[in-house]
Structure 1
Amino acid sequence: MASLDDKLDAAEEAMVAEAERRPISTILLIVAMQTEALPLVNKFQLSEDLDSVFPSGVPWVRYHGMYKDLQINLIWPGKDSALGVDNVGTISLSLLTYASIQALQPGLIINAGTAGGFKAKGACIGDVFLASDVAFHDRRIPIPVFDLYGVGLRQSYPTPNLLKELNLKTGKLSTGDSLDMSPHDEASITANDATVKDMEGAAVAYVAELLKVPTIFIKAVTDIVDGEKPTAEEFLQNLAAVTASLGQAVTQVIDFINGKCLTEL
């Protein structure tokens, strides 16, 4: 006789399978920076939510609206109250992702943003990648099993038809809380076999896996980490132009998703 746990697991699997066969209706776009967010807000004609679904006092900003058959919620973490800069990084984005899933119950998460790329892995300025895997490179815990926990390797939701139709590049994404790259980080990024690096993807993936929400990662390259120019200088120089490439790619992805179920991606 099946145990209660077995029955519950079977019921949960059946619910997941059923959800994957229904057309996607709600997309949660998680974007770390205002510069990355606003072109998408304009493209999808989203309106700012003045009656926030989030707890009082948090700076997070929600834009929402219908685009074709999709309800789109775009969330960015707002500005630091003291310094006025974007609330980037894994702590801010993990909190934001958790609260957004709880409040909005999305069918699919898209974490869209800019990233550093590695020319040794074939990345060029303006390239847009659909990440296949995500992992951390700055959580080094040199104890058996804890080391794997620190890396936190997770796969993005598989989208073979999307990749084929849009001819997007794919590669592994590595996440850390620093824009620059220390020798320790470099060794970990190499171990992660990463093509691109960012400051939020693996944190979003962690929360999405906990709450069982399928997630994909779209990253546009602003700077070549193993290139000749200083990372910060190259990032700022290319940010505006690359966000345009990012916006175009996200639009193509959402147009492809419209009317489809998860299993068709």
Structure 2
Amino acid sequence: MERKSIKSVLVLVAMEAEALPLVNILDLKEDVPPRIAPPAPAVSYTGEKFGITINVVRNGKCQLHGVDNVGTVPAAVTAYLAVHELKPDLVISVGTAGGFKARGAAIGDVFLATAFANHDRRIPIPGFDKYGVWRIDAVPAPNLREALSLKEGVVSSGNSLDYSKEDWDQLHANEAAVKEMEAAGISWVAHLHNVPFLALKSITDIVDGDRPPQEEFLENLHSAAQALQRVISPVLEFVAGKTIKEL
């Protein structure tokens, strides 16, 4: 598989506000009828650029509450359905996140993941404890990081915007540079399908700062989405036609 050149990339995004700037700059079209069959609420977009097929898939809206489906469960379900349907050569989770200033994060930075873990799955039983954290490496991409001058670090996922003391302790145990709500779930799906997986996360709020994360998130969501918009084309152009080892 590693000798195969990348001809198709699946970009997974949780929120509409994160996805639409990517769709616009890549000139993708919404799939009608949907590629991800109902009742799954996922929305997909397809196009050709840099000589490869690009699919952007977002989680869609919650039917009960009308907001974006965020968190590891919608992310994993969407990823499973999308990978099964689209059969990509590479999967990339793209979205906004909190960052740790202690690990060099600032608002608007884009991080390339080195590994994925959970910080809110606490199962203090031998064997299940490590399963709960689920730490797994991202595909090594040193050439991509250097070419685009991206920061890098561990991406840790949980299902709350804030954190408990136990979450905080596990975030530090994970050596997290980035805190978000989807990537670890997607990494499990990618592992099941043996598909290479990367993540690009743009920083909206500083986890170890002095402001409430929800305030910084809402204040910086637009600018963080623009940062992702700026980086997505160079990333896709770089990976196009390369083998995984060349990343």
SS in 1 for 2:47: strand
How far apart, CA to CA, are the structure 1 residues paired with 2:93 and 2:177?
17
Q: Is the 8 A contact 2:50 2:236 kept in 1?
A: no
Q: Which residue of 1 aligns with 2:28?
A: 46
Number of residues paired by the alignment? 247
Q: Which residue of 2 aligns with 1:102?
A: 84
Q: Which residue of 2 aligns with 1:21?
A: 3
1:259 is displaced (CA, Å) by 2.5
| Correspondence 1:60 to 2:50 | no
How far apart, CA to CA, are the structure 1 residues paired with 2:215 and 2:178?
18
How far apart, CA to CA, are the structure 2 residues paired with 1:67 and 1:236?
31
1:188 is displaced (CA, Å) by 0.6
Pairing 1:73-222 to 2, within 5 Å after superposition = 73-222=55-204
1:22 is displaced (CA, Å) by 2.6
Letter in 1 for 2:130: L
SS in 1 for 2:160: coil
Q: Which residue of 2 aligns with 1:264?
A: 246
Q: Which residue of 2 aligns with 1:7?
A: none
How far apart, CA to CA, are the structure 1 residues paired with 2:216 and 2:188?
29
Q: Which runs of 5+ in 2 are unaligned?
A: none
How far apart, CA to CA, are the structure 2 residues paired with 1:146 and 1:22?
35
State the Cα RMSD in Å. Answer: 0.9
Deviation track 1:20-68 (CA, whole Å, cap 9, x = no partner) reads 2232111000000000000100011000011122232221100001012
How far apart, CA to CA, are the structure 2 residues paired with 1:219 and 1:159?
15
How far apart, CA to CA, are the structure 2 residues paired with 1:260 and 1:111?
19
Misfit runs of 4+, over 6 Å: none
How far apart, CA to CA, are the structure 1 residues paired with 2:36 and 2:30?
13
SS in 2 for 1:240: helix
Q: TM-score, normalised by structure 2?
A: 0.98
How far apart, CA to CA, are the structure 1 residues paired with 2:162 and 2:180?
10
Structure number with larger C-alpha Rg? 1
Letter in 2 for 1:238: N
Deviation track 1:174-220 (CA, whole Å, cap 9, x = no partner) reads 00000001111001101101011000000000110011000001001
1:120 is displaced (CA, Å) by 1.5
1:122 is displaced (CA, Å) by 1.5
Q: Which runs of 5+ in 1 are unaligned?
A: 1-15
SS in 2 for 1:21: coil
How far apart, CA to CA, are the structure 1 residues paired with 2:232 and 2:123?
35
How far apart, CA to CA, are the structure 2 residues paired with 1:58 and 1:164?
37
